[in-house]
């Protein structure tokens, strides 16, 4: 048995779709839509809620907690690194490609503009986006919400490295470590040190080589290559976050602490770690995030701290109510939340292109326009889920199953790894 696979007896058991997590996804998606609708539709509301609560950060922290809870469990349930990455690729990239093409269509039609770097350096920008690490490579995002996918990808790389190294059960310790680093070093670590003038082709190619080589290594049958691959997969995201993140390092480290805390909470509920360690993570990571913000935030930390604490409270409430039945419409909203999250900036850019001064437009008109945007968004999300997301996920599962089956066959054959 290779180090990139674990036996069914030690893998996480298969679990039915968890309605409470869908409910949290749906809520988080709607809150992010609200945040991004303020400038093009309701700028007056930003002055009301903005000074004490950052709705955008609330939404993404909920998303990060949910990802932390489910992603490592998915890898461990599969027991296969190859199967995990095939599944993740077919989960993320098809809709991502559709939305990127839609954003470029807005540029071609003149509805929206595009950052000058993307037009002056198309090869570097394309490669950076294909890695989904573009935000950590300081490449301007084609769609603003894509920045969070860079942290999702960094998390996947770290989770894979820990899995291959057999350290994946140490989620609580990893979460605590990132939390402590956010407090003690988050304000002194540099930002965009490697790419302060924008991402270079050399830096981007180095990330491609390190990430691709790391994945090839962990999929090898040779123990030395697997270890080297795990190191490469860990070095890439840690190095970029430590010295080259676009947002301050204390926020980047807080994101990683949050995601691994989500994993620790899953392990607590699954009985893999003690109640004491679970409570320590549930209390310690929000405290560390608060401390880092109070120490290092270059403005008023209150909106960010309030958003983070509210996100944790929401996730905790979800865990407490996990056995309750979630309304079908809410579960559906969570199911299409990835579409809602990626598509809504496209619709809001269209609105922004037609409303030069939203504050000069009567409120009833803007409320009606907002309702229309939400209705169109949900309709588009239903279509993209049915036509893009669901078929891609089914195809990914079939390919992953064949990949895992072929790997099992090779292990059982004479000379198999």
Q: What is the pLDDT of residue 407?
A: 53
Does residue 1 fall inside a structural domain? no
Q: What is the pLDDT of residue 99?
A: 97
Provide the token pair at 145: 């919400």
- Name 237's Cβ contacts closer than 8 Å, sequence gap at least 6: 133, 136, 153, 154, 155, 157, 158
Q: What is the pLDDT of residue 385?
A: 98
Give the span between the Cα atoms of 333 and 355, in whole angstroms: 28
pLDDT beyond 50 at 410 = no
Q: Over the stretch 348-399, which tens digit does the pLDDT of each residue have?
A: 999 998 888 998 999 999 999 999 999 999 999 999 999 999 999 999 999 9
Residue 322 DSSP one-character state: T
Number of domains in the chain: 1
Does residue 10 fall inside a structural domain? no
pLDDT beyond 60 at 74 = yes
Among 232, 221, 219, smallest CA distance to 157 is for 232
Give the span between the Cα atoms of 297 and 318, in whole angstroms: 29
3-class state of residue 361 by DSSP: coil
- Name 259's Cβ contacts closer than 8 Å, sequence gap at least 6: 64, 65, 67, 68, 71, 151, 155
Q: Over the stretch 101-159, which tens digit does the pLDDT of each residue have?
A: 999 999 988 888 887 778 788 999 999 999 999 999 999 999 999 999 999 999 999 99
Does residue 361 fall inside a structural domain? yes
Does residue 3 fall inside a structural domain? no
Beta-bridge partners for 80: 5
Does residue 6 fall inside a structural domain? no
Cβ atoms of residues 251 and 288 within 8 Å: no
pLDDT bin (cut points 50, 70, 90) of residue 406 is low
Q: What is the pLDDT of residue 154?
A: 98
| DSSP strands (E only) in 99-157 | none
Among 77, 55, 68, 220, smallest CA distance to 154 is for 68
Among 377, 381, 373, smallest CA distance to 42 is for 373
Provide the token pair at 206: 């180095």
Query: Average pLDDT, whole number, for the chain?
Result: 91
Q: Over the stretch 235-261, which tens digit does the pLDDT of each residue have?
A: 999 999 999 999 999 999 999 999 999
Report the 3 state secondary structure along 223-272: HHHHHHHHHHHHHHHHHHHHHCCCCCHHHHHHHHHHHHHHHHHHHHHCCC
Does residue 4 fall inside a structural domain? no
Q: Over the stretch 18-33, which tens digit does the pLDDT of each residue have?
A: 899 999 999 999 999 9
pLDDT beyond 70 at 69 = yes
Q: 83 vs 129, 225, 403, 405, CA distance in Å? A: 23, 19, 7, 10
| Residues 359, 364, 365, 367, CA torsion sign | positive
User: Could you tell me the residue range of the domain that residue 301 belongs to?
Assistant: 19-412
pLDDT beyond 90 at 17 = no
Cα 62 off chain centre by: 10
How many other β-carbons are positioned within 10 Å of the β-carbon of residue 169?
Answer: 16
Does residue 352 fall inside a structural domain? yes
Which residues in 355-384 are b (16+ Cβ under 10 Å) and which e?
beebeeeeeeebeebbeebbeebbebbeeb
How many other β-carbons are positioned within 10 Å of the β-carbon of residue 293?
Answer: 24
Q: What is the pLDDT of residue 119?
A: 79
Does residue 267 fall inside a structural domain? yes
């Amino acid at each position: 048995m290779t180090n990139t696979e674990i036996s069914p007896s030690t893998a996480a058991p298969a679990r039915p779709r968890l309605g409470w997590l869908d409910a949290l996804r749906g809520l988080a998606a709607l809150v992010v839509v609200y945040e991004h609708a303020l400038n093009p539709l309701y700028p007056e509301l930003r002055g009301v809620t903005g000074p004490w609560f950052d709705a955008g950060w609330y939404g993404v922290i909920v998303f990060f907690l949910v990802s932390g809870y489910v992603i490592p469990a998915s890898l461990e349930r599969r027991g296969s690194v190859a199967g995990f990455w095939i599944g993740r690729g077919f989960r993320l990239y098809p809709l991502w490609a559709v939305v990127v093409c839609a954003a470029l269509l807005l540029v071609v039609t003149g509805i929206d503009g595009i950052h000058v770097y993307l037009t002056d350096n198309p090869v570097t920008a394309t490669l950076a986006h294909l890695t989904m690490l573009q935000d950590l490579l300081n490449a301007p995002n084609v769609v603003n919400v894509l920045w969070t996918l860079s942290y999702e990808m960094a998390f996947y790389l770290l989770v894979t490295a820990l899995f291959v190294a057999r350290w994946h059960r140490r989620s609580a310790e990893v979460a605590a470590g990132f939390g402590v680093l956010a407090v003690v070093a988050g304000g002194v670590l540099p930002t965009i040190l490697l790419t302060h003038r924008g991402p270079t082709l050399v830096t981007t190619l180095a990330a491609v080589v390190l990430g691709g080589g790391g994945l090839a290594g962990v999929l090898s049958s040779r123990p030395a290559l697997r270890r080297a691959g795990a190191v490469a997969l860990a070095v890439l995201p840690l190095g970029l976050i430590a010295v080259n993140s676009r947002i301050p390092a204390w926020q980047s480290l807080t994101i990683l602490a949050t995601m691994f805390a989500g994993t620790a909470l899953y392990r607590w509920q699954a009985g893999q770690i003690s109640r004491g360690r679970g409570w320590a993570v549930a209390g310690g990571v929000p405290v560390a995030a608060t401390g880092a913000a109070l120490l290092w935030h270059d403005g008023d930390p209150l909106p960010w701290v309030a958003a983070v604490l509210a996100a944790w409270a929401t996730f905790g409430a979800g865990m407490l109510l996990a056995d309750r039945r979630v309304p079908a419409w809410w579960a559906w909203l969570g199911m299409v939340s990835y579409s809602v999250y990626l598509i809504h900036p496209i619709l809001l850019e269209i609105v922004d292109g037609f409303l030069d001064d939203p504050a000069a437009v009567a409120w009833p008109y803007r409320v009606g326009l907002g309702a229309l945007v939400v209705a169109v968004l949900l309709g588009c999300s239903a279509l993209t889920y049915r036509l893009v997301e669901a078929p891609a996920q089914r195809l990914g599962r079939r390919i992953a199953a064949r990949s895992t089956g072929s790997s099992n066959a090779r292990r059982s054959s004479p000379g198999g790894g």
